[in-house]
Structure formats: structure tokens, C-alpha cells
């Protein structure tokens, strides 16, 4: 199965920022261990693919 990018530039930047922020807050013990959920948006932003978007047929990038 080929992974087709479905995460656009702005979406990607937001995902990475949120992911890094949550992980940083978890490392600084500001929000507890649930902050490690930030790994999900960080990874989906890094690889430009979101499995949930694929399920619901959403694309935030311009490529078809």
C-alpha cells in the first residue's frame, strides 16, 4: 500500500507545533504523562499523512 500525503503545509505546521508543545509540557511535568499523546500529531505532521483523514476522505493539501 502506498501512503499518499493528505496533510497540507499549514495543517502540518500546526500538528508539529502542538505535538512538540504537548511533549515538552509532559517532559516538564506540567500536564502529566498524557502529554505524550503529542507523539501522534508530531508523527502525522512529519510524514504528511493522517490515517484518520484517509478514513473520512479529508485532504488538507493541494495535491490530488
Q: Is residue 1 included in any domain, yes or no? A: no
- Distance, CA of 1 to CA of 26 (rounded, Å): 34
What does the pLDDT read at residue 3?
A: 83
Instruction: Using alpha carbons, list the distances in angstroms from residue 34 to 31, 39, 63.
Output: 7, 10, 34
What does the pLDDT read at residue 64?
A: 58
CB-count exposure of residue 6 (10 Å: 0-12, 13-18, 19+): buried
pLDDT tens by residue, 10-54: 999 999 999 999 999 999 999 999 999 999 999 999 999 999 999
Q: Range of 23's domain?
A: 9-56
What does the pLDDT read at residue 45?
A: 97
Q: Is residue 63 included in any domain, yes or no? A: no
Domain count, the chain: 1
**pTM beyond cutoff 0.85:** yes
Amino acid at each position: 500500500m502506498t501512503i499518499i500525503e493528505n496533510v497540507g503545509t499549514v495543517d502540518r505546521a500546526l500538528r508539529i507545533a502542538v505535538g512538540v508543545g504537548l511533549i515538552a509540557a509532559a517532559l516538564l511535568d506540567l500536564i502529566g504523562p498524557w502529554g505524550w499523546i503529542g507523539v501522534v500529531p508530531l508523527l502525522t505532521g512529519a510524514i504528511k499523512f493522517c490515517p484518520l483523514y484517509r478514513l473520512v476522505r479529508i485532504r488538507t493539501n493541494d495535491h490530488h
